[in-house]
Amino acid sequence: MDIGIPKERTPSEFRVGLPPVGVRLLTELGHACYVETGAGVGSGFSDDEYRSAGATIVFSGEEAYGRADLVLKVVRPTVDEIDWLREGQTIMGLLHLGAAHPSELLRLADRRITAIAFERIQDPEGTFPVLRPLSQIGGRMAAQLAAHLLQNDAGSRGVLLGGIPGVPPAQTVIIGAGTVGRNAALTFLGLGAQVTLMDVDLARLQKLEDWLPNRVETVLSSPQAIEDVCRTADVVVGAVRLPGRKAPTVLRRPTIKALKPGTVLIDLSIDEGGCAETSRPTTHTQPTYVEEGVVHCCIPNLPGAVARTATHAFHNAAWPYIERVVNQGIEAALEAGPELRSAVMIHAGQVIDENRAKKMSLAGQSS
C-alpha cells in the first residue's frame, strides 16, 4: 500500500501523522511511504531520518496526498487538503468531525473517500485507546498552562497556583472526571492547588475518592452545582465529552458572568465544540481572550505544543490499527473487528454517523 504523510497545516500544529519509527515498520512490511518535506520538523524529526527509515520525500502536500492510498494525519484536513483527496482513498486522523461544520462533511463526502477518526476507535472494554494518551497529555498540560495564566502578566489576578504557607493555593474546579479530568486533577494536586472534581457519574466519583483519598473534593455535577462551585474558583477546567458528538454546553453565559474577574477558564472540550457558551477556538500563538471578565483559553490541539511526546504517544496507540489497514486493506480491516468500524465516519463517500448525516442533509437543503 502507498501511504502519504503530509505536513500539518492547522496553525500551531507541530505533530506529524507518523514518526520515522512508524515509517520503518511500514517499509519493512513492504509498503511505500511518501513524506512531505518538513512534515516532522515540529516534532524534531528531519527529512534525513525519514529517508533512513525508507521513506520517499516529496515536496508538496498535494503530492503526498496524490501518491497515497492511505493518508495518515493528526488533525482534520483543511479545505485545501480536502480538495487534494481523490475517490477511493482512506484518511486516518484525529478528525473530530462531530464538531465540524456540515459543509466540511459534505466536501469530504463528495470526494468519495473513507474517513476513520482515531478518537472514535473503541475497544471491547468501551474505552478509546488512541484518544487516551492524548487526553492524558491535555489534562496534564492544563495545570502548567493554568499556573502561567494566573499570573498578572498573562492578564489574570496574580495568584500562585500552589500558594505558600499562610496564603492559600488556587481553587481549581474540573468539570468532567474522565481521562482528561483525572489527569488534570492529578497534576493540579501535584502542583499544590486545591481541587474540586465534578461529574454526572456518581460511581466514577466514588472510584476517584478511593484513588485520591482526602486529596480532592468531589461534587455530583448539575447546572446549579456547577454555578455554585465555580463562583469561588480561580481556575475552571472544562473536560466533558460525548464520543463522536459535540460537547455539551455545561457553562452558560450567566455562570461565566458570575465568576470572579480574572478567573481562568481552560476549555479542554473545544476540539469537540467546547463546553462553555463563551468558548471559541484559540491558538498556541494567541492562546487567550477575555470575555465577561474571564480569561478564556480554548486551544483545540493543546498536545500539539509538546509535539515530540504527543507524536510518539499517538503512534504507540494508533499503530495496531494502522498496521491492520495497511496489511489487510480497508474493507477486510473493517470486517475483522468492531474497533475500526466504530471509528468510520465516512465510507466510500457515504456518511455513516446518523447524527452528522442528518445535519448534512439539513445543510444541503438550506444551500
Task: Report residues of the chain scoring pLDDT below 50.
Answer: 360-367
Which one of 234, 271, 347, 353 is the catalytic residue? Answer: 271
According to the model, what pLDDT value does residue 349 have? Answer: 85
Cβ atoms of 226 and 258 within 8 Å: the answer is no
The dotted CATH code for 131-300 is: 3.40.50.720
CA distance 284 to 15: 13
pLDDT tens, residue by residue, 242-269: 876 789 999 999 999 999 999 999 999 9
> What is the reported pLDDT for 181?
96
**pLDDT score, position 43:** 97
Locate 75 and state its grid cell.
488533525
Instruction: Cell 473487528: give the residue.
Output: 337
Superfamily name and number for 2-121+307-366: NAD(P)-binding Rossmann-like Domain (3.40.50.720)
Q: What is the pLDDT of residue 105?
A: 85
Closest CA to 277 of 258, 255, 302: 255
Catalytic residue among 31, 96, 296, 315, which? 96
Is residue 296 flagged as an active site residue? no
Alpha helix ranges (H) inside the chain: 20-28, 47-52, 61-66, 79-84, 102-110, 131-149, 179-190, 202-211, 223-230, 253-257, 307-328, 330-336, 338-341, 354-366
Helical segments of 159-222, H only: 179-190, 202-211
The rounded distance, in Å, linking the Cα atoms of 158 and 269 is 26
Q: What is the location of CATH 3.40.50.720 in the chain?
A: 2-121+307-366, 131-300
| pLDDT reported for residue 362 | 38
Residue 213: its pLDDT value, please? 65
228 belongs to the catalytic site? no
User: Do strands 344-347 and 350-351 pair parallel, antiparallel, or not at all (unpaired)?
Assistant: antiparallel
Amino acid (1-letter code) at residue 295: V
